[in-house]
Structure 1
Amino acid sequence: MDKKNLNLGLLFESVVDKYGSLNAIIFSEKHTVTYNELDGLSNQIKNALNENQLNSGNLILISGDKSLSMFATIIAALKSGITYCVYDPLGPAGRLRRIADVCKPQLIINSSEDDFILGDGFANYNALSYGSIREQAQTLASSRDDKVSNILGSQLAYVMFTSGSTGTPKGAMITHDNVNVLLNWSLEEFSFGPGELLANVNPSYFDNFVFDFYSSLFSGSAIVPFNSNQVNNPYELLESINNIGCTSWFSVPTMLIYLQNMKALTQDSMKNIRRIIFGGEGYPKSQLAEVFKVFNKRIDFYNVYGPTECTCISSCYKVSENDFKNIGGFLPLGSMIPNFKYCILDDKLDFVNTGESGELCLYGPAVGQGYCNDSNKTEAAFIRGQPYAKPGQTVYRTGDIVYYNTEDQKIYITGRSDNQVKHMGYRIELEEIETCATQLRYVRQACCIRNVDNNLSTLILFVSTSKKIDIKDMRADIKRLLPKYMIPSKIHIIDRLPLNANGKVDRKALSLKAQDL
């Protein structure tokens, strides 16, 4: 069957028809679920959703506890034309209420970890537990029906909310067709299929999970989900990855840096891993070089890039030894995946001259449908048509500042438009300060925060280091890399930079900490 002409429900069924007896989910060496078993349970849950008056076009908000119920419910939603939205079961109830108020779900499905969902603040929403849904499902048919064929590729598959680190949550709307673009590229690029075991360390409410979920369960591969407790125990995590035989790793760089700092990445770890894929933030080459040196003889490394609003990944770059001739900065974005196009615009939305910095804008069939129930933010970030693209095409403004290097003909990110600050009359990219700091061999991670007190602007640099270092010596080293107006007013050394729910450096937490320094 041609994947390009299938909705995701039909596509999953075609995979089951081919690989039904193979493992689809491996929770542990002793707990596995086959494609046939997952298909049957998803059909029962699909019927249970229908019994609860859920129909095509509705939206459900579901707990991202990585249970079998969660995986089966996602498949059931795809087969029903129901849009799913995964939330953090360990997150604050207040944020979940804000998400619910934005996406207005017809049903909230919670897990045993988050019973608060049924308490104050959710009286206006219908809510059931996974246990209740499974209990209903037991009495219902596990066979397929023909309704799945009525789902259109243009229908929404999921809504993914961006992290709260930038303010009010925004729900990116992604269709079945959008996901198919990602999936067709992923299977072609990495040859996923039977025998591949994808380690799922990404939270299920984070867009990196989209890659893990669809690349595995829609290819005949197996997904190996790890919960937050396992992910936070590096030695247990890597032991399980070895014992189960995981072949593919995808995470944010911060996760790999954490394993580096814990000295957990050795030749004895990741024994069966064939590829390490990372994305979601920049990986300082000084840190990446250490991991690359350990594994590059047997593991391929890929730097991927893509906003949540463009279905997870829009470009890919395979890392090579040549990338470490210059140890500073970050890797290039690489090539756009098939059907993706880009342009670089200035703050007036005019094209920049070749080689100049500007905002990266993307267009193509994997660009999503905007933000859920938020026309103002959609209109600001999604622009239409000429002169950037063909008439009717949507162009997404990523907010990432990039430039095209005419020498190597590659695109490089220099920072975020929302991390541009004006300090001492100069417009500064905070990432530039962070990049220079991480060029120092003893600096593991760095995050620069601008603090304003009584209209006085100060730059505060938070760093974690691999050895004890005097701040005066560090300041002297930084002075050799940055102009005077970019030298941080304060440098604060901490054991480990805080992370947000998505595993990225938590700038909001550091901003609050900066106010107390």
Structure 2
Amino acid sequence: MISSRSLVDDLRSTAARHGGRTAVIDGTGSLSYSRLDDMAEHIAQALREAGVQPGNCVAWHGTKSRTAVAAVHGILRSGAGYVPVDPDGPIARARLIVERSRPSVVVTDTTARDLWHTVAPDLTWRTLPTGSPTDTPLWYAIPPAAARAPLPDLAYVFHTSGSTGHPKGVVHTHASASAFVDWSVDELRLTEQDVIINSAPLHFDPTTLHLFGAARVGAAVALMPATAAPFPAAYIDFCRQVGGTVWYAVTSTLIWLARRGKDALPQLGSLRAAVVGGEVLPPGDVNTLFAALPGIRLLNVYGPTESNVCTFHEIRGPQPLDAVIPVGRVLPGAEIVVVDEALAPVSSGSVGQLLVRGSMLMEGYLDPEQTAHAFVHTTDGRQWYATGDLVRENKAGEFEFVGRRDAQIKSRGFRVEPGEIERHLHAVDGIHECVVVATPDALFSTVLTAFVSADDVDVVKAVPGLLRERLPHYMIPQRIVLATGELPRNSNGKVDRNALSELAARPTTLGDSPGLTIVH
């Protein structure tokens, strides 16, 4: 059922109520709600004149900025859904996403437009009026391929990595996006006094809260400049300067700040709520945050891009270092079930795959075949999205993340969950980050390689002995590799497991890789 609520309505009504309030802050200036609304209207009108129809896809490819936020709102106001493309990714992948999403129009900034000249020199680019000649200019082009048929209630399409090697286009509607924004605004008690920190790229799902939670209530969204994001001191200083009150980022960003910017964390005194998700949250980093900001609300959330957020757990104070921090309980409007291989519900405490359905769930993928494979029917006949994540319900009735169904491996005949090994590595004092990957091996069938970052090699040398005290022999990594810096990350800020798997698959050259040392 299509909701009558639209993300477009929020900006219009907020601009009418709070036109003079700051809507967007970036590294060079800000926009008021009145100005943002006016720019969105100019962009929407120009897109409609270019032939954009309701339900069309419109690609957005450009650097994160206040003009980019106006572009997103303008695309939505035109009646289309926006398809954000990673501005830092290869132009070949950008072209692939555009080819697969078949937008009616591609919108870019000048830098991205110049990249398109190298792969699609026949595209004709025209100026896209924004009504703001002093802001970054925008451009648009009409691809030669016929536009995709309109999709009802389309809001946006986020692309995730697909197991087939092709990006999956996750289709969210105004209804599914608004359901998530509804929960976010209510749970975080957002108001027009808030400043929401955005350090995620616009093609990543936390921006649904950043952009549209802010527009719903009249809060400001502060876009982290690219020059500040890589450095803990600059990151924290930006949050302090803009008076950030709410922060939502991937878990690894909290880990990075807690370990690399620990001394500066108390400067974030204006921060009242933090939301993290996407990766396992180590208790030691939780304790570091609470020591610096004892009054902060901290939420651990869970949900793949396909479902927005579907569970959450509020962490109330410091945690034991061996604690497993739950992903929590189900959100209002969502429904989950944990099932076995036969898609029958498991008993409480047993590990199974998490299935989800409800108002926050995607409409499907752009590719109907991928959609068909993603949905399953449980033994009672109901349809669910199969997340591929393994969880268990704890004694408190909350869910704990165990690992990935497709990451579960067999090592010498035993089932192994890399996530369980990583949990024990995280508990070792002195280890900053860790990832365990499995690669095929002619002798052992599977070899486990643990990549860890730590300041002291002696800490890493002690790891095999520590793990032998906590894990069975078949779960001890055959190789432990020390990274002197941070582990590689993808454009979303998460540790790049695929890159590490590729390194582990070449053991003869692994020790020669810059910044990596085989310790065990």
Task: Establish whether TM, by shorter chain, passes 0.5.
Answer: yes
- 1:107-506 equivalence runs, <5 A: 107-122=105-120, 128=125, 132-134=127-129, 155-163=153-161, 167-295=165-293, 297-310=294-307, 312-321=308-317, 324-325=319-320, 327-328=321-322, 330-372=324-366, 374-383=367-376, 387=380, 389=382, 394-405=383-394, 407-454=395-442, 456-469=445-458, 471-495=460-484, 496-506=486-496
- Report how far residue 384 of structure 1 moved: 5.4
- Report how far residue 268 of structure 1 moved: 3.4
SS of 1:435's partner is helix
Aligned to 1:22: 21
Task: Give me the whole-angstrom Cα distance separating, in 1, the residues matched to 2:426 and 2:467.
Answer: 10
- Report how far residue 247 of structure 1 moved: 0.7
- For the pair 1:511 / 2:501, whether they are aligned, the reply is yes
Query: Structure 1 residues 154 and 340 mapped into 2: Cα distance closer, same or farther (>3 Å)?
Result: farther
- Report how far residue 114 of structure 1 moved: 2.4
- Report how far residue 136 of structure 1 moved: 8.4
Query: Structure 1 residues 388 and 233 mapped into 2: Cα distance closer, same or farther (>3 Å)?
Result: farther
Query: Structure 1 residues 127 and 449 mapped into 2: Cα distance closer, same or farther (>3 Å)?
Result: farther
Contact kept in structure 2, 1:157 and 1:175, CA below 8 Å: yes
- Report how far residue 448 of structure 1 moved: 0.6
Task: Give me the whole-angstrom Cα distance separating, in 2, the residues matched to 1:120 and 1:453.
Answer: 41
SS of 1:74's partner is helix
Contact kept in structure 1, 2:62 and 2:112, CA below 8 Å: no
Q: Give the alignment's Cα RMSD to 1 decimal.
A: 2.4
Aligned to 1:13: 12
Task: Give me the whole-angstrom Cα distance separating, in 1, the residues matched to 2:480 and 2:458.
Answer: 12
SS of 2:364's partner is coil
Structure 2 alignment gaps of length 5 or more: 134-149, 511-520
Amino acid at match of 1:505: V
Task: Give me the whole-angstrom Cα distance separating, in 2, the residues matched to 1:461 and 1:384.
Answer: 36
Query: Structure 1 residues 31 and 423 mapped into 2: Cα distance closer, same or farther (>3 Å)?
Result: same
Contact kept in structure 2, 1:163 and 1:502, CA below 8 Å: no
Query: Structure 1 residues 8 and 221 mapped into 2: Cα distance closer, same or farther (>3 Å)?
Result: same
Task: Give me the whole-angstrom Cα distance separating, in 1, the residues matched to 2:412 and 2:418.
Answer: 14
Amino acid at match of 1:344: V
Task: Give me the whole-angstrom Cα distance separating, in 2, the residues matched to 1:122 and 1:395.
Answer: 40
- Report how far residue 294 of structure 1 moved: 2.1
- Report how far residue 112 of structure 1 moved: 2.6
Q: For each residue in 1:29-57, what CA deviation from the matched residue of structure 2 results, as whole angstroms up to 9, or x when unmatched?
A: x7221111000111001111012111112
Contact kept in structure 1, 2:407 and 2:417, CA below 8 Å: yes
SS of 1:181's partner is helix
Amino acid at match of 1:383: V
Task: Give me the whole-angstrom Cα distance separating, in 1, the residues matched to 2:257 and 2:173.
Answer: 35
Aligned to 1:76: 74
Amino acid at match of 1:485: Y
Query: Structure 1 residues 204 and 166 mapped into 2: Cα distance closer, same or farther (>3 Å)?
Result: farther
Query: Structure 1 residues 467 and 165 mapped into 2: Cα distance closer, same or farther (>3 Å)?
Result: farther
- Report how far residue 466 of structure 1 moved: 4.2
- For the pair 1:60 / 2:58, whether they are aligned, the reply is yes
Query: Structure 1 residues 165 and 251 mapped into 2: Cα distance closer, same or farther (>3 Å)?
Result: farther
Query: Structure 1 residues 113 and 453 mapped into 2: Cα distance closer, same or farther (>3 Å)?
Result: farther
Query: Structure 1 residues 168 and 375 mapped into 2: Cα distance closer, same or farther (>3 Å)?
Result: same
Task: Give me the whole-angstrom Cα distance separating, in 2, the residues matched to 1:40 and 1:386.
Answer: 52
Task: Give me the whole-angstrom Cα distance separating, in 2, the residues matched to 1:474 and 1:5.
Answer: 56
SS of 1:347's partner is coil
Q: For each residue in 1:444-502, what CA deviation from the matched residue of structure 2 results, as whole angstroms up to 9, or x when unmatched?
A: 11101112244642111111124341544221111111100111001011122111111
Task: Give me the whole-angstrom Cα distance separating, in 2, the residues matched to 1:88 and 1:335.
Answer: 32
- Report how far residue 293 of structure 1 moved: 2.4
- Report how far residue 411 of structure 1 moved: 0.9
- Report how far residue 362 of structure 1 moved: 0.6
- Report how far residue 12 of structure 1 moved: 2.0
Amino acid at match of 1:414: V
- Report how far residue 354 of structure 1 moved: 2.5
- Report how far residue 265 of structure 1 moved: 4.8
Stretch deviating more after TM superposition (423-432 or 286-295): 286-295
Q: For each residue in 1:426-461, what CA deviation from the matched residue of structure 2 results, as whole angstroms up to 9, or x when unmatched?
A: 121111111111111121111011122446421111
Query: Structure 1 residues 267 and 101 mapped into 2: Cα distance closer, same or farther (>3 Å)?
Result: closer
- Report how far residue 383 of structure 1 moved: 3.0
Task: Give me the whole-angstrom Cα distance separating, in 2, the residues matched to 1:401 and 1:167.
Answer: 23
Task: Give me the whole-angstrom Cα distance separating, in 2, the residues matched to 1:106 and 1:188.
Answer: 36
Give me the TM-score of the superposition, normalised by structure 2: 0.88
Amino acid at match of 1:299: I
Task: Give me the whole-angstrom Cα distance separating, in 1, the residues matched to 2:376 and 2:124.
Answer: 36
Task: Give me the whole-angstrom Cα distance separating, in 2, the residues matched to 1:324 and 1:47.
Answer: 53
SS of 1:257's partner is helix
Task: Give me the whole-angstrom Cα distance separating, in 2, the residues matched to 1:179 and 1:20.
Answer: 24
Task: Give me the whole-angstrom Cα distance separating, in 2, the residues matched to 1:320 and 1:127.
Answer: 55
Q: For each residue in 1:325-380, what CA deviation from the matched residue of structure 2 results, as whole angstroms up to 9, or x when unmatched?
A: 3x2253112222111111111122222223211110111111111111x1222111
SS of 1:229's partner is coil
SS of 1:173's partner is strand
Amino acid at match of 1:441: D
Aligned to 1:106: 104
Amino acid at match of 1:359: Q
Report the count of equivalent residues: 488
- Report how far residue 135 of structure 1 moved: 6.6
